[in-house]
Amino acid sequence: MPWQNSNGPSGSPWGSGGTPPDLQDLVRKGQDRLKQLLPGGGPRGAIVLTILALIGFGVWTAYYTVPSDSVAVVQRFGKYLKDVEPGLHFKLPLGIDTATIVPVKRQLKQEFGFATPGATDPYQSNPRDGKRETEMVTGDLNAALVEWVVQYRISDPFKFLFDVRDPSQTLRDVSESVMREVVGDRTVDEVITIGRQEIETEALAKMQALSTKYAMGISIDQVQLKNINPPQPVQESFNEVNQAQQEKEKLINEARRDYNKVIPLAEGEKDQRIREADGYRLKRINEAEGDVARFSALLAEYAKAPEVTRRRIYIETLQDVMPRVRSKIVIDEQTRSILPLLNLDSRNEDRP
């Protein structure tokens, strides 16, 4: 609904002229109206005016709003009273109750060695000497410039406000101390190349242990390393070492790839040859055992009827051999010479 003004036809709150009146004129008009409303004037009017001002100020300070990601810690005459959930609430005015907003559901962070532009948290970065906190000495007495971020939440508003005098600055000091300790236990190569994950994990555990020990009311969510560089005078040499390390890892990975490609193939061929040999062994054993069994059965029959068994063996052998013979010549057993009957030339021509 549009706001309307009855001071002038132009719709301006200052009347038809469109320009605000002088402040002294407004004050004077207000005093005149108060004198008309307050009978008698003098000290009595001043007392009534003061009472009205106190009432207005009390109403103004009697309510407060808690955001959805926060809680309010209410104190009465400086003593802790209760925690208040998000929403619109009322308290005793005129400074009797005070409400401190604590963002318990918001993830906060502290940056070391650099600063994000536009940050509203004064403890998010160190504007005084951010470079000094990144200068660290590794376990092999080398220097490194370490930048990192600590992300945390306020888990206990009471401890955060009352158990530690300056919890944000204390967390910053604890983070720097722990990071120097963790980096000091490793070589510069581990810090710059392969040890980043271990440093983050160990630093997170130690920071959380110290924050619990000091009753800071803070829960550490993550410690993340950003830029880790050697000092400027030796940075070029360290870059060469890093490139050599990466080339080494590349060659190792390629060798492992070839190994995983060739060795399983050879293992498969080996298993195949072993299975084939094992199958051939079982085949020969079974054939030999079958021949033995057949010979034993034949020997038993031969012992019963030698002549009949010998002739049967002869006939069975011919049945097996004769189909394989391409040319067959049948002659009389009384023939003395078979040369006139043989056409050796035709036999040679029939051969493939």
The most confident of 21-30, 55-64, 188-197, 287-296, by mean pLDDT: 287-296
Q: Residues 112-148: pLDDT tens digits? A: 988 888 877 888 887 666 678 888 999 888 888 999 9
Q: In the prediction, which pLDDT does 148 show?
A: 93
Q: Could you tell me if residue 241 is inside a domain?
A: no
Task: Domain count for the chain, please give it.
Answer: 2
Per-residue pLDDT band for 91 (boundaries 50, 70, 90) equals: confident
Q: How far apart are CA 200 and CA 182, in angstroms?
A: 9
143 shares a domain with 66: no
Q: In the prediction, which pLDDT does 118 show?
A: 80
Q: Could you tell me if residue 276 is inside a domain?
A: no
Between 124 and 5, whose confidence is greater?
A: 124
Q: How far apart are CA 293 and CA 325, in angstroms?
A: 29
Statement: residue 214 has pLDDT above 50:
yes
Q: Could you tell me if residue 59 is inside a domain?
A: yes
Q: How far apart are CA 155 and CA 218, in angstroms?
A: 5
119 shares a domain with 60: no
Q: Could you tell me if residue 149 is inside a domain?
A: yes
Q: Could you tell me if residue 62 is inside a domain?
A: yes
56 shares a domain with 162: no
Statement: residue 3 has pLDDT above 80:
no
Domain residues for the domain of 96 are 35-105
139 shares a domain with 209: yes
Per-residue pLDDT band for 34 (boundaries 50, 70, 90) equals: low
Backbone φ and ψ of 25, nearest 5°: -65, -40
Q: How far apart are CA 323 and CA 69, in angstroms?
A: 100
Domain boundary residue, one of 70, 105, 140: 105
Strands (E), the chain: 63-66, 71-76, 79-84, 87-90, 97-102, 108-112, 135-137, 143-154, 218-229
Q: In the prediction, which pLDDT does 26 show?
A: 62
117 shares a domain with 96: no
Average pLDDT over residues 324-334: 74
225 shares a domain with 112: yes
Domain boundary residue, one of 230, 248, 269: 230
117 shares a domain with 87: no
To 5 degrees, how large is the angle CA 133–CA 178–CA 246? 80
- Helical residues (DSSP H) of 214-343, grouped into ranges: 235-304, 306-321
Q: Could you tell me if residue 278 is inside a domain?
A: no
Statement: residue 345 has pLDDT above 80:
no
Amino acid at 106: R
190 shares a domain with 96: no
- The 10 Å Cβ neighbour count of residue 285 is 10
139 shares a domain with 52: no
Quick one: CA dihedral 20, 25, 29, 35, positive or negative?
positive
Q: How far apart are CA 194 and CA 182, in angstroms?
A: 14
Average pLDDT over residues 236-261: 87
Q: In the prediction, which pLDDT does 14 show?
A: 39
Question: Is the Cβ–Cβ distance between 148 and 225 less than 8 Å?
Answer: yes
Q: How far apart are CA 249 and CA 232, in angstroms?
A: 26
Average pLDDT over residues 239-268: 88
Q: Could you tell me if residue 43 is inside a domain?
A: yes
Amino acid at 51: I
CB-based burial, 242-274: b 16+ in 10 Å, e otherwise: eeeeeeeeeeeeeeeeeeeeeeeeeeeeeeeee
Domain boundary residue, one of 230, 263, 289: 230
Q: How far apart are CA 190 and CA 187, in angstroms?
A: 5
124 shares a domain with 56: no
225 shares a domain with 137: yes
Statement: residue 327 has pLDDT above 80:
no
The CATH number covering residue 180 comes to 3.30.479.30
Q: Residues 146-178: pLDDT tens digits? A: 999 999 999 999 999 999 889 999 999 999 999
Q: Could you tell me if residue 143 is inside a domain?
A: yes
203 shares a domain with 216: yes
